[in-house]
């Protein structure tokens, strides 16, 4: 196979974008080294991957979840992702930490290539395809989570499968065949193994796409797309095989609503978050693109509009759920968790906005330059080059933001060393079957992954998917905030067999009474809060350092 | 000597998967039990992110000829991810441990078998008696 000059230049530019994006995303890998995991979710993944690599099977029971009893809802969200990383680790001889830490860099490159291929397939414009990949490197915050180095989350894999499914959906309109229906059904179905939310959003978008075909009376396309959605239902068998029942996923709707409703609603996306993370330039250009597509009835691009609209509706429903009295209506919708925890939409909404923005430039603006160049009597290539430079310069601010965010993420989210002596103490001085409670809602995930001790309340799905969620939230509140009577607290502690209470700083403490998070940030840990803890009957201080303390109960 | 058209048809249909799968499977078996992590890592990526899906698309080549090389590459990745995940479930359900030996056996065996399929199918097609329309 020989590449033409144009193709070579395109692939070289794509490689340059990959290197630039890889550098921004890989800052943590470069500064912290491979094997360092940042943030909370990766530690949840770590425990699951370790379990698969050490025990040689996909677990159906997790003794450390929903303490003190454990649950069959074991690592339920992303069994496929965990076993996939486990396979990489086993084949390459890497530790679970290393396999996880390196994986986002690989998935990042593949996601950009998939985005390039998708944009090229739908727009037939190499400039648009390159720009889409470029815009994707400028994402930050929740938007960047799926492609951020050293943040191995299931969405890394989910984003690739999502984009691959969209490529197949595009191909299905260009070359309809039952083989492509089958392939789309397979990829769509397997996305549930990356994350159920991926599957949820893939199918929302596919159904929305099919509805655009129905509107255009293109019955064959609509039928093929819906057939692929139906074919993907084989994934239910995989979910059952992973030890998860759909009833439990349904129960998570209430838990998700509870979590999303905790003020300041940190898991809910709104317009200002979208603008700051995706960038004003990308959003404005995507709006231009949508208007042109609708105005000129460019039916082959309707799919992109449907994709953007349906996922933006998820953002709106998320806001409706947590900021208005209609929350209970949303809570009542079966499997509504991805709607209320709308931050989960971020690996899937920004890519379409990047594609739309890129199409606005590559397919609409640049071709229209020809007429303008004749009027202004300027060479068309020069004018196109200037226009591209203006777009790139306008995106430079967002690119710089993405770089700064990545540096901040690499430096601030590496919390493991901060509490390393606490982890060591727990491992060496407590029994394996001890049950802990931690003031910070997410800290238990670290304790479970690093020390293999059960923690009775965390933000992990398998810990929240419990029928007694409110009861647990009340105990969490009473244990760590001076709002309850000591007798009732003591009774609840006994019923959940909690043996140790960990307090760390900084921490986000749940206050069930006011449905909010209380921010606790005092360094070194001391003062009135610690004195209150020390004065409580039955609380014995067994460990203290500048960041943390442990009390035996 | 093969004529250019025959050579082209051979490189496209059938043996491309074999040319990749057989030597890489041998390398996977050889290096999996060494401490050369860098080569093992590259081979691992090839076997979990590319080869299984690529071989499947080669089997379906006649009906996926319209795919560009880039699309073929991206879809190979998606299919490989799916195949590896399904493999792990099958191993768990059959009570076979997910460990290095079993993964190497399954992935190398699977890719080699699938890579031979297009050639076998072509041979079977040749051997099939032609229908005579009277």
> A549: which 2 tokens?
């303390």
Asked, for residue B87, whether it belongs to a domain, the answer is yes
- Chain B residue with CA closest to A238: the answer is B89
Among the partner residues A92, A121, A157, nearest to B40 by beta-carbon distance: A92
| Cβ atoms of A268 and A342 closer than 8 Å | yes
- Chain A residue with CA closest to B40: the answer is A92
A8, A11, A53, A57: best to mutate for the B interface, most B CBs within 10 A: A57
User: Does A383 sit behind a cis peptide bond, omega within 30 degrees of 0 on the bond before it?
Assistant: no
State which residues of chain A have pLDDT below 70: 1-3, 71-76, 147-150, 242-249, 524-526
pLDDT at A41: 85
b/e sequence B101-131, b meaning 16+ C-beta within 10 Å: ebbbebbbebbbebbbbbeeeeeeeeeeeee
pLDDT digits (tens, 9 = 90+) for B76-117: 999 999 999 999 999 998 999 999 999 999 999 999 999 999
Q: Say how far apart CA B128 and CA B134 lie, in whole Å.
A: 18
Asked, for residue B14, whether it belongs to a domain, the answer is yes
Q: In what order do the strands lie in the sheet with A540-544?
A: A454-455, A435-438, A500-504, A548-552, A540-544
Domain regions of chain A by residue span? 5-33+75-412, 417-552
- Say how many CA atoms lie within 13 Å of A179 toward its Cβ: 13
- Chain B residue with CA closest to A239: the answer is B89
Concatenated DSSP letters for A500-543?
A: EEEEESSEEEEETTTTEEEEE--SSS-HHHHHHHHHSTT-EEEE
- Interface contacts A/B by beta carbons within 8 Å: 128
| DSSP conformational letter for A62 | B
Residue B71 to residue A175, Cβ atoms within 8 A:
no
Expressed as residue numbers, the domain containing B80 is 4-127
Residue A93 to residue B37, Cβ atoms within 8 A:
yes
List of chain B residues whose C-beta atoms are within 8 Å of the C-beta of residue A157: 81
Residue B60 to residue A179, Cβ atoms within 8 A:
yes
> A510: which 2 tokens?
């749940």
Asked, for residue B133, whether it belongs to a domain, the answer is no
A93, A196, A239, A242: best to mutate for the B interface, most B CBs within 10 A: A93
| Cβ atoms of A283 and A271 closer than 8 Å | no
pTM: 0.93
Of A184, A189, A190, A164, whose CA–CA distance to A80 is shortest?
A: A190
List of chain B residues whose C-beta atoms are within 8 Å of the C-beta of residue A167: 71, 74-75
Hey, CA dihedral for A206, A209, A214, A220, is it positive or negative?
negative
Residue A58 to residue B98, Cβ atoms within 8 A:
yes
List of chain B residues whose C-beta atoms are within 8 Å of the C-beta of residue A164: 74-75, 77-78
pLDDT at A429: 95
Residue B37 to residue A92, Cβ atoms within 8 A:
yes
pLDDT at B14: 66
Q: Coil, strand, or helix at residue B96? A: coil
Asked, for residue B132, whether it belongs to a domain, the answer is no
> A11: which 2 tokens?
């692939």
pLDDT at A246: 63
Residue A241 to residue B93, Cβ atoms within 8 A:
yes
Asked, for residue B134, whether it belongs to a domain, the answer is no
- For A150-194, strand residue ranges (E) read none
Stretch 48-107 of chain B: residues touching chain A, C-beta under 8 Å: 48-49, 60, 63-64, 66-67, 69-71, 73-75, 77-79, 81-82, 84-86, 88-89, 91-93, 95, 97-100, 103-104, 107
Residues 6+ apart with CB under 8 A from A464: A252, A255, A256, A258, A259, A458
Among the partner residues A86, A93, A113, nearest to B98 by beta-carbon distance: A86
Among the partner residues B86, B92, B103, nearest to A91 by beta-carbon distance: B103
| Cβ-based burial of B10 (10 A; exposed 0-12, middle 13-18, buried ≥19) | middle
Concatenated DSSP letters for A362-384?
A: IIIIHHHHHHHHHHHT--HHHHH
Q: Give backbone dihedrals phi and psi of A140, rounded to 5 degrees, phi first.
A: -145, 175
List of chain B residues whose C-beta atoms are within 8 Å of the C-beta of residue A163: 74
| Cβ-based burial of A307 (10 A; exposed 0-12, middle 13-18, buried ≥19) | buried
B31, B92, B95: best to mutate for the A interface, most A CBs within 10 A: B92
Give the rounded percent of residues in chain A with a pLDDT score beyond 90: 55
A454-455 and A435-438 strand pairing: parallel
Q: pLDDT: is B121 or A136 the higher one?
A: A136
Taking the CA of residue B105 and the nearest CA in chain A, the distance in Å comes to 11
| Cβ atoms of A274 and A308 closer than 8 Å | no
Q: Coil, strand, or helix at residue A33? A: coil
Q: Say how far apart CA A133 and CA A23 lie, in whole Å.
A: 14
| Cβ atoms of A210 and A172 closer than 8 Å | no
pLDDT digits (tens, 9 = 90+) for B18-63: 889 999 999 999 999 999 999 999 999 999 999 999 999 999 988 8
Of A133, A84, A131, A142, whose CA–CA distance to A108 is shortest?
A: A133
b/e sequence A110-138, b meaning 16+ C-beta within 10 Å: bbbbbbbbbbbbbbebbbbbbbbbbbbbb
Asked, for residue B40, whether it belongs to a domain, the answer is yes
| Cβ atoms of B28 and B132 closer than 8 Å | no
B98, B106, B107: best to mutate for the A interface, most A CBs within 10 A: B98
The answer, yes or no, to whether residue B3 has pLDDT greater than 50, is no
* Fold of the CATH domain A417-552: Rossmann fold (3.40.50)
Asked, for residue B54, whether it belongs to a domain, the answer is yes
Residue B85 to residue A113, Cβ atoms within 8 A:
no
Total domains in chain B come to 1
């Amino acid at each position: 196979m020989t590449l033409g000059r144009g193709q070579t230049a395109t692939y070289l530019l794509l490689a340059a974008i990959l290197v630039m994006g890889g550098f921004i995303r890989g800052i943590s890998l470069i500064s912290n080294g491979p094997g360092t995991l940042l943030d909370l979710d990766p530690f949840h993944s770590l425990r699951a991957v370790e379990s698969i690599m050490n025990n040689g099977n996909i677990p159906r029971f997790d003794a450390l979840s929903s303490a003190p009893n454990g649950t069959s809802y074991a690592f339920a969200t992303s069994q496929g992702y965990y076993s996939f990383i486990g396979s990489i680790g086993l084949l390459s001889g890497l530790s679970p930490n290393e396999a996880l830490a390196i994986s986002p860099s690989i998935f990042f490159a593949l996601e950009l290539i998939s985005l390039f291929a998708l944009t090229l397939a739908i727009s037939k414009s190499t400039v648009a395809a390159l720009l889409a990949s470029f815009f994707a490197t400028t994402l930050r915050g929740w938007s960047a989570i799926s492609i951020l180095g050293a943040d191995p989350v299931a969405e890394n894999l989910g984003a690739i499968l999502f984009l691959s499914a969209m490529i197949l959906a595009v191909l299905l309109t260009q070359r309809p065949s039952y083989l492509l229906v089958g392939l789309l059904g397979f990829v769509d179905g397997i996305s549930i193994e990356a994350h159920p939310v991926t599957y949820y959003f893939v199918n929302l978008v596919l159904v929305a796409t099919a509805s655009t075909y129905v509107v255009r009376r293109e019955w064959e396309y609509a039928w093929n797309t819906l057939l692929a959605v139906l074919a993907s239902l084989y994934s239910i068998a995989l979910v059952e095989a992973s030890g998860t029942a759909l009833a439990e996923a349904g129960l998570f709707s209430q838990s998700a609503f509870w979590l999303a409703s905790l003020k300041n609603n940190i898991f809910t996306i709104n317009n200002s978050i979208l603008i700051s993370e995706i960038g004003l330039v990308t959003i404005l250009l995507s709006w231009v693109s949508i208007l042109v597509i609708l105005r000129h009835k460019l039916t082959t691009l309707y799919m992109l509009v449907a994709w953007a609209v349906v996922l933006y509706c998820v953002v709106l429903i998320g806001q409706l759920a947590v900021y208005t009295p209609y929350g209970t209506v949303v809570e009542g919708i079966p499997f509504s968790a991805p709607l209320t925890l709308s931050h989960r939409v971020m690996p899937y909404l920004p890519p379409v906005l990047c594609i739309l923005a890129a199409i606005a430039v590559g397919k609409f603006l640049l071709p229209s330059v020809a007429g303008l160049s004749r009027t202004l009597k300027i060479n068309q290539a020069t004018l196109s080059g200037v226009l591209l430079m203006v777009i790139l310069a306008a995106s430079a601010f967002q690119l710089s933001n993405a770089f700064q965010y990545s540096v901040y993420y690499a430096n601030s989210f590496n919390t493991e060393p901060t509490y390393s002596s606490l982890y060591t103490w727990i491992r060496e001085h407590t029994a394996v079957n001890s049950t802990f409670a931690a003031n910070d809602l997410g800290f238990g995930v670290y304790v479970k992954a690093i020390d293999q001790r059960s923690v009775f309340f965390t933000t992990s799905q398998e810990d929240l998917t419990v029928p007694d969620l409110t009861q647990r939230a009340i105990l969490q509140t009473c244990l760590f905030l001076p709002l309850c009577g000591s007798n009732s607290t003591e009774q609840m502690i006994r019923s959940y067999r909690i043996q140790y209470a960990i307090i760390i700083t900084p921490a986000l403490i749940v206050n069930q009474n006011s449905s909010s998070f209380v921010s606790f940030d005092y360094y070194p840990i001391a003062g009135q809060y610690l004195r209150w803890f020390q004065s409580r009957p039955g609380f014995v201080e067994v460990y203290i350092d500048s960041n943390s303390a442990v009390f035996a109960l | 000597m093969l004529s250019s058209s025959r050579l082209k048809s051979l490189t496209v249909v059938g043996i491309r998967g074999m040319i990749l799968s057989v030597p890489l499977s041998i390398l996977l078996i050889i290096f999996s039990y060494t401490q050369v992590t860098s080569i093992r890592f590259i081979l691992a990526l090839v076997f979990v992110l590319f080869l299984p899906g690529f071989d499947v698309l080669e089997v379906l080549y006649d009906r996926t000829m319209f795919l560009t090389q880039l699309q073929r590459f991206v879809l190979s990745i998606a299919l490989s991810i799916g195949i590896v995940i399904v493999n792990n479930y099958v191993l768990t359900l059959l009570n076979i441990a997910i460990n290095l030996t079993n993964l190497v056996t399954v992935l190398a065996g699977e890719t080699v078998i699938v890579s031979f399929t297009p050639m076998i199918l072509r041979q079977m097609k040749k051997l099939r008696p032609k229908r005579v329309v009277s």
